[in-house]
Structure 1
Amino acid sequence: MTTVTIGPIVAEVTGEGMPVVMIHGLGGTSNMFQPQMAALSGYRVVRLDLPGSGRSPKPFEPLTMEIMSEAVVRAMDGMGVTRAHFIGHSMGTIVCQQIAAKHPALVASLALFGALAEPAEATRLGLVKRAQLARSGGIADIADQIVANALSAHTRETSPAAVAFVRESITRQDPESYARTCEALAKAVAVDPRRIAAPTLLVTGDADTVNPMSVGQALADGIKGAVISSLDRCGHWATIECPRESSQKLADFLRRVDR
């Protein structure tokens, strides 16, 4: 494994082969895809910390989704990646969609976990309030809210390790950077899904209350040939809550695309 820094992005690079680029969601880091690494043997896996998240440096200016997606594109260029499979979670699925729409030659396929096109109005308002809470010292409270509302009841009852992972991922974020990321997501605008030509898989937990199946289905309906699949008793953090099932769906999809 090699750790590289290109502009505002820190990335971990593992393996050789066709590149797979993995983009986390709000409050996540590259670590949220650790359970999928065994399923990606034979690929060059690039796991990113988006600007202001995880180990990537604190941004000097307000963030936008466009700034994040273009930072990913520049990082790919810096690593010599000219075409890759893109895998995203939640907010990261918006980054993936923007890249697929604006840089179609770079995207071999999309696998989107807990996907959305853009936040609903109530979600936008909630994200602005969450940014204020983060700045006021409430990052631990935010973590507790996410555990209570974004994870399935089954996960909370049966997987204390998953609960601990999600809580740790949030509490270790830099509060100001997290707040700016919340504000960027609050202003996200959907791309025209007709501009996405890459084969696309959407995976959503049947207990996902953040971006439920109806949200994923609406996005899938707009992308030509997109396929949507569900995970039983799974909330919003699918790669952590249902690691084996998420990995299997991802591996099966990539095998079909690469045939």
Structure 2
Amino acid sequence: MKSLIGVAGRRLHVARWNEGSDAHRPLLMLNGIGMNLELLEPLACALPEREVICVDMPGIGSSPDPFIPYTMSQMALTMAALLDQLGVAEVDLLGISWGGALAQQFAFQHRSRTGNLVLAATAAGATMVPGNPAMMAHLADPLEYTVEKTLKRNLASIYNGGGTAQVSLNAAKAPSPLGFSYQLASFACWSSVPFLPLLRMPVMIMADEEDQLIPPANAQFLHNAIPHSQIEMFRGGGHLFMLSQRARFIEIMRDFLDAELAEG
């Protein structure tokens, strides 16, 4: 089910897949910069045993433009308010790329509401090891992503950078210039470094060794900074390895999320 929901002064496009599956905590998926929630539908469909919630950030996908810029901390509060409206007390988190930054911030601010945390193809913020300079330059230009005819070309070259398998981007929808710019700015002035040692929930970090947008050194940094975290490395999947190597990604994530049930 997809709908527009008013929360914390914003209207957000929200999808709930597999609603009513209550054997597990719901999984809140937070997407990459400029990426609409429909691109993650294949992951939701591969997890029929649990409810999956996904949100278009302001100005992304089908969510209206934001009125004013926002910070990661503010958006984490918005996600908590959204969960209140949905009647969800606690979630597991999957954060992909930009969404991994928001997932880290949410897990820190709302530790009592966070079960397990999965971080994929992401970094600790402004202190990150930068990616391929040509790709980073493209990413800094909103016009490269907010014009329909260039969007899929850039997604194919940048988000699949380093990958040998093709990823379908037919569901991609161009973000608005304002939405993309505000989302980029919220990451540029944010860092999780001060609070990473305070994350005590189970954390799984996944990255691809050939990711040209967020180099794998960033995953190693997160792994070293977060106590008792686990790390899994992919190869040949590029920045969107969770889509290009979906079967393995789902298998690893499912085993991680279900570990506490096995122990119980």
TM over 0.5: yes
**2:6 corresponds to 1:6:** yes
Could you tell me how far 1:163 is from its partner in structure 2? 5.1
Listed one character per residue, the Cα deviations across residues 114-173 of structure 1 (whole Å, up to 9, x for unaligned) are: 021113478599979855543997675465344323314544xx42xx1534xx62x521
Contact 2:14 2:56 in 1 (8 A): yes
Pairing partner for 2:248 from 242, 245, 248: 245
1:115 match = 122
1:205 match = 208
Contact 2:58 2:64 in 1 (8 A): yes
2:175 match = 173
Change beyond 3 A, Cα 1:197–1:176: same
Could you tell me how far 1:226 is from its partner in structure 2? 0.6
Could you tell me how far 1:51 is from its partner in structure 2? 2.3
TM-score w.r.t. structure 2 length?
Answer: 0.84
Pairing partner for 1:229 from 228, 232, 241: 232
Q: Which has the higher helix share?
A: 1
The residue type equivalent to 2:113 in the other structure is L
Structure 2 Cα separation of the partners of residues 122 and 219 of structure 1:
12
Structure 2 Cα separation of the partners of residues 139 and 179 of structure 1:
16
Contact 1:86 1:107 in 2 (8 A): yes
**2:75 corresponds to 1:68:** yes
Unaligned 5+ runs, structure 1: none
1:42 match = 49
TM-score w.r.t. structure 1 length?
Answer: 0.85
Contact 1:39 1:251 in 2 (8 A): no
**2:134 corresponds to 1:148:** no
RMSD: 2.8
Structure 2 Cα separation of the partners of residues 48 and 136 of structure 1:
19
Change beyond 3 A, Cα 1:122–1:245: closer
**2:61 corresponds to 1:54:** yes
- Secondary structure at the residue paired with 1:37? helix
Structure 2 Cα separation of the partners of residues 27 and 163 of structure 1:
16
Could you tell me how far 1:204 is from its partner in structure 2? 0.7
Listed one character per residue, the Cα deviations across residues 71-108 of structure 1 (whole Å, up to 9, x for unaligned) are: 11110111111111011101111111111111100000
- Secondary structure at the residue paired with 1:62? coil
Structure 2 Cα separation of the partners of residues 152 and 88 of structure 1:
19
Contact 1:134 1:178 in 2 (8 A): no
2:186 match = 184
Structure 2 Cα separation of the partners of residues 6 and 120 of structure 1:
33
**Quick check: 199-208 or 46-55, which moved more?**
46-55
Structure 1 Cα separation of the partners of residues 150 and 40 of structure 2:
24
Change beyond 3 A, Cα 1:133–1:42: closer
Number of equivalences:
252
1:214 match = 217
